Amino acid sequence: VSEQTAFISFLSDYGRRDEFVGVCHGVMARRCPRAHVIDITHEIPRHDLTVGALTLRDSVRFLPAGIHLAIVDPGVGASGAEQRRAVALRCRHEDRWLVGPDNGLLAPAAQALGGVAQALDIAASRERLTPVSATFHGRDVFAPVAAALADGAIPESVGEPLDPGALRNLTLPQAELSGDTLHAHVLSIDRFGNVALDATPAQLHQLGLAVSPQASIEAPPRRSSAIYAVTFADVAAGAMLIYEDSRGMAALAVNEGSAAHEMDLRRGDEVIVRLA
Amino acid sequence: VSEQTAFISFLSDYGRRDEFVGVCHGVMARRCPRAHVIDITHEIPRHDLTVGALTLRDSVRFLPAGIHLAIVDPGVGASGAEQRRAVALRCRHEDRWLVGPDNGLLAPAAQALGGVAQALDIAASRERLTPVSATFHGRDVFAPVAAALADGAIPESVGEPLDPGALRNLTLPQAELSGDTLHAHVLSIDRFGNVALDATPAQLHQLGLAVSPQASIEAPPRRSSAIYAVTFADVAAGAMLIYEDSRGMAALAVNEGSAAHEMDLRRGDEVIVRLA
Amino acid sequence: VSEQTAFISFLSDYGRRDEFVGVCHGVMARRCPRAHVIDITHEIPRHDLTVGALTLRDSVRFLPAGIHLAIVDPGVGASGAEQRRAVALRCRHEDRWLVGPDNGLLAPAAQALGGVAQALDIAASRERLTPVSATFHGRDVFAPVAAALADGAIPESVGEPLDPGALRNLTLPQAELSGDTLHAHVLSIDRFGNVALDATPAQLHQLGLAVSPQASIEAPPRRSSAIYAVTFADVAAGAMLIYEDSRGMAALAVNEGSAAHEMDLRRGDEVIVRLA
């Protein structure tokens, strides 16, 4: 076992109001005292697999190689046919591990990391805390397995081999361009009220915004005009822009304001973009 | 002094909006640069000793041995007869230290850790930052003493000996079973709206729910039925269950919903449980 | 390069709801794996340079020597004449570095740390992540430069020399005493509803409160009386006090209550203090 720092990143929908996140940190520190845990965020909207999966996928390339623990787990504790697997997935890129529920949450990140080279079912891992509670597998299954892998445990010792082809996938929303109209949806809204869409910058180009940068934005009953720009300061204070955000997605913002508030947008809402 | 990692866990009602928690981290890093601080939570409701004490008590067994710093301190800065002590308590289990105000906050955790083997009054500790502010003993007294102990300071050098028998206790709420009726109270409500009660799973068994798992839940004027179950997925979406939560307490939840919202419950409210 | 712990403190208005802070932590861990990052707070009100600058200034003396990364950046991504510089500033006290936007945010902390001995323009630093996004310089410029300096990079290698005299300053609000009236303003409101003013304890003394400790507080249309005291417990539950807070500023509080709520105060509001 190396004495180097072992990095574990941690994303969940647990929030920080309760002790859930702190207790998982404690469990990891007990199993791997030299682990360095980086909290990505714990404010994924409750049970929102899409936001969780995209946040994880778009964060991993900025994180050090190691273990990526992610927990958004609406199906925790189900039994029989409803039971979701608990998994650890070794990815091709830098042998990074993803640890979490097999409900699609890990799938886009696995793909971004070159695909799954090795999959383990960890539900009955000998690393788990027993008795396993019915409702807190983060503490009892996922955190201890993540820490064991960070500590250099042999994969075969933490779970049972699993066919990577049997893993659950996740269908991500995707904007559709039909004629001169882009039908997009709100993927997420950040603290500043900036609205990430499920559209790509390439789709904005196809719409013609690179040539004629005046867009019309509709989310009935609201309607606004927006300028296709690089950043907030490219438009006047209070004006709306449509731009490529720092994750690489098309997004709406209002300079020194809130696009979400101005268009009364919530996660999942449809947003129609046209040339003005 | 060992070069090993020194673990300090940290719980408070400071919140993360202000710089209070970060400044305490800074003070600890200055005194013990190799300390690894694990934040349990800083969102204990303001001045709520019961929630703070229970959260600490139920978290310590998942945390690495070391120092447990906890601050919920309605009496900070009082003088004369009103003055509460500042203490460091060495517990029998693994020689773990509890550091915080002597107002009952630490008492349930001390008991869970095998009782107090050594108590110190640290109000005038030579480790404290001077001048000690009147309102921020976390920064000026508790954090530096916690860090000194983590750094291997000799206990006698951080405070004055104190009789463990003189420490303040905390009376915890406890549900009462009278005949076929369980009178319980809301201990805490988590981010998901799950409601922890001051009742034990044993009391649910005494009520007969293990045999006949249909319960009636009353918090006037609200009333609901609930199923005694192991986990959320055991009941239909939108249905209520009564179950043993991950801390080992009786709790109410609504599968894919919020029990707190449905029953309009707040911390301290009475909840009456009967067989349906 | 030393193998010692390298401390980086981190303050921003990013919040913790999104992955911004976690991603910056990841970027720093990749560049300097042994860095120990201390989060001061990430809940500075959006774009509020004054609150950010004062929080940073008043926190640094409690933090270990190292790098202080601070990001409140309303002008991110602007170009041409509007463009603010990105800077790293070596201060005289303990050779600490401040890293962030050159918009005044760092100026009060630099002064508290003995002034700027060396200034670098880091906008085109070879440490930055490329392509630099238009909206997230925390991730792409500030975090990697902070980590490089923590890792022992030679200053000349992370940026271009800059005249410290060219740095932007920040005009801080300051209470004015005219005759028997102190015209103060709300600097910030903490989680407990305690209200920090832009007045000094010396100004309260000049008003005569040290001799006659009854004050009248006005924030039209609200009006209250307050006692000049050392701490909360010096006044009755529900009573208001005016006191020196733990940062050393004059502040209003209500014992076991909220001064902000009682006086309906918001950041920037005027508060008039007189002898009662």
Contact across the interface for A40 and C26, Cβ inside 8 Å: yes
Question: Is the CB of residue A130 less than 8 Å away from at least one CB of chain B?
Answer: no
Q: Does B266 touch chain C (CB under 8 A)?
A: no
**CB contact (8 A) between residue B256 and residue A74:** yes
Q: Chain B: give the shortest CA distance to residue C223, in Å.
A: 25
Searching chain A, which residue's CA lies closest to the CA of residue B236? A78
Q: How many Cβ pairs closer than 8 A exist between chain A and B? A: 91
Q: Smallest Cβ distance to A246: which of C47, C78, C139?
A: C139
Does residue B225 carry a pLDDT above 80?
yes
Are A18 and B190 an interchain contact pair (Cβ–Cβ within 8 Å)?
A: yes
Q: What are phi and psi of B38, to 5 degrees?
A: -110, 115
- Which range in A188-197, B228-237, C139-148 is most confidently predicted, on average pLDDT? C139-148
B240 — pLDDT class (breaks 50, 70, 90): very high
Residue B34: its chain C contacts at CB < 8 A? 5
User: Measured between CB atoms, does B84 come within 8 Å of chain C?
Assistant: no
pLDDT digits (tens, 9 = 90+) for B19-38: 999 999 999 999 999 999 99
Question: CA B254, CA B256: separation in Å to the nearest integer?
Answer: 6
Report the C-alpha gap between A32 and A152 in whole angstroms: 9
Q: In this prediction, what percent of chain A has a pLDDT beyond 90?
A: 91
The answer on pLDDT for B1 being more than 60 is: no
| Tens digit of each residue's pLDDT (9 = 90 or more) over C131-180 | 999 889 999 999 999 999 999 999 999 999 999 999 999 999 999 999 99
C45 touches chain A (CB under 8 A): no
Predicted local distance difference test score (pLDDT) of residue C207: 95
**B79 shares contact with chain C (CB less than 8 Å):** yes
Residue C22 phi, psi (nearest 5): -60, -40
Cα A107 to its chain centre, rounded Å, is 10
pLDDT of residue B3: 58
Please indicate whether, in this complex, the C-beta atoms of B75 and C246 are within 8 angstroms of each other: no
Q: Which residue of C has its CA nearest to A192?
A: C46
Q: Which residues of A touch B256 (CB under 8 A)?
A: 47, 74
- 3-state DSSP assignment of residue B108: helix
- Taking CB atoms and an 8 Å limit, are B63 and A26 in contact across chains? yes
The complex's ipTM works out to 0.94
If one compares A148 and A4, the residue with the highest pLDDT of the two is A148
Question: Chain A residues with CB inside 8 Å of B40's CB?
Answer: 19, 22-23, 26
Question: What is the chain A residue with the closest CA to B56?
Answer: A19
Find the CB nearest C135 among A9, A246, A256: A246
Chain A touched by C78 (CB under 8 Å): yes
Among A51, A62, A187, A190, the strongest candidate for a mutation testing the C interface, having the largest count of C CBs within 10 A, is: A62
How far from each other are the two terminal CA atoms of chain A, in whole angstroms?
Answer: 61
Please work out, in degrees rounded to the nearest 5, the angle formed at the alpha carbon of residue C49 by the alpha carbons of C43 and C52.
45
Residue of B nearest to C65 (CA): B30
Predicted pLDDT of residue B233: 87
- Cα Rg, chain B, nearest whole Å: 21
Structure tokens at B176: 């009462």
Contact list in B for residue C190 (CB cut-off 8 A) is: 17-18, 20
Between B75 and C20, whose confidence is greater?
C20
Quick one: how far is CA B160 from the chain centroid?
26
Per-residue model confidence (pLDDT) at position C64: 98
* List of chain B residues whose C-beta atoms are within 8 Å of the C-beta of residue C4: 33
Pick among B17, B44, B47, B142 to test the C interface (most C CBs inside 10 A): B17
What's the mean per-residue pLDDT of chain B?
Answer: 95
Helix (H, G, I), strand (E, B) or coil at A190: coil
Whether residue A59 and residue C19 make contact (CB cut-off 8 A), yes or no, is yes
At position B88, the amino acid (one-letter code) is A
Structure tokens belonging to residue B124: 């005038």
Which site among A38, A188, A243 would you substitute to test the C interface, given the most C Cβ atoms closer than 10 Å to its Cβ? A38
User: Looking at the DSSP assignment, which residues form a beta bridge with residue A11?
Assistant: A41, A70
CB environment A137-154: b (16+ within 10 A), e (fewer):
bbbbbbbbbbbbbbbebe
Distance from CA of C163 to the nearest CA of A (A): 26
CA distance, residue C161 to nearest chain B CA (Å):
30
d(CA B144, CA C81): 47
pLDDT digits (tens, 9 = 90+) for B58-97: 999 999 999 999 999 988 877 776 789 999 999 999 999 9
Q: How far is CA C266 from CA C186, C218, C261, in A?
A: 7, 14, 9
Q: Give me the numbers of helices (H) and strands (E) for chain A, helices first please.
A: 8, 15
Confidence of residue A79 (pLDDT cuts 50, 70, 90): confident
Contacts of B192 in chain A (CB under 8 A): 46
Residues facing B91 on adjacent strands: B116
Burial class (CB in 10 A: 0-12, 13-18, 19+), B200: middle
pLDDT of residue B63: 98
Nearest CA in chain A to C48: A256
Copy the structure tokens of residue B98.
Answer: 């509890």
Mean pLDDT on A130-158:
96
Does B22 sit within 8 Å of C9, measured CB to CB?
A: yes
The answer to whether A43 faces chain C, any CB pair under 8 Å, is yes
Separate counts of helices (H) and strands (E) for chain C: 8, 15
- Chain B residue whose CA is closest to A139: B62
Q: How many CB pairs under 8 A join A and C?
A: 91
Per-residue model confidence as pLDDT tens digits over B89-127: 999 999 999 999 999 999 999 999 999 999 999 999 999
Q: Per-residue confidence at A2, pLDDT binned at 50, 70, 90? A: very low
Residues of C with Cβ-Cβ distance to A21 under 8 angstroms: none
Give the DSSP per-residue string, A51-83.
HHHHHHHHHGGGSPSSEEEEE--TTTT--GGGP
Question: For an interface test with B, which of A8, A14, A20, A23 has the most B Cβ atoms less than 10 Å from its Cβ?
Answer: A23
Any chain B CB within 8 A of the CB of C14?
no
Closest to A31 measured CA to CA, from A126, A97, A124, A119: A126
**Percent of chain C scored above 90 by pLDDT?**
92
Query: Span A77-105, mean pLDDT?
Result: 92
Per CB-CB distance under 8 Å, the chain B contacts of C36 are 29, 33
Which has the closest alpha carbon to C46: A43, A236, A257? A257
- Please report the DSSP string for C72-110 in residue order: --TTTT--GGGPPPEEEEEESGGG-EEEEESSSTTHHHH
What the block records as the tokens of A271 is 């947003």
**Chain B interface, best mutation among C38, C94, C258, by max B CB count within 10 A:** C38
Q: Chains meeting C at 3+ CB pairs closer than 8 A?
A: A, B
For chain B, the chains sharing at least 3 beta-carbon pairs closer than 8 angstroms are: A, C
Which residues of A are less than 8 Å from B246 in CB distance?
133-136, 139-140
Query: Are B55 and A19 in contact (CB < 8 Å)?
Result: yes
Residue A90's Cβ-side half-sphere holds a number of Cα atoms within 13 Å equal to 16
Question: Around Cβ B18, how many Cβ atoms within 10 Å?
Answer: 21
**Candidate from C22, C76, C79 with C-beta closest to A39:** C22
User: Residue A203 has what pLDDT?
Assistant: 97
Q: What is the pLDDT at residue C1?
A: 39
Q: Which of A68-72, B170-174, C131-135 has the highest mean pLDDT?
A: A68-72
Whether C231 shows a pLDDT value over 80: the answer reads: yes
Q: What is the pLDDT of residues A235-266, one digit of tens each?
A: 999 999 999 999 999 999 999 999 999 999 99
The pair of structure tokens assigned to B59 is 């978290």
Select the residue from A17, A28, A79, A130 to test the B interface by mutation, using most B Cβ atoms within 10 A.
A17
Task: Categorize the per-residue pLDDT at A111 as very low, low, confident or very high, splitting at 50, 70 and 90.
Answer: very high
Q: In chain C, what residues touch B133 (CB-CB under 8 Å)?
A: 245-246
Q: Is C58 on the interface with B (CB under 8 A)?
A: yes
C-beta atoms of B9 and A19 within 8 A: no
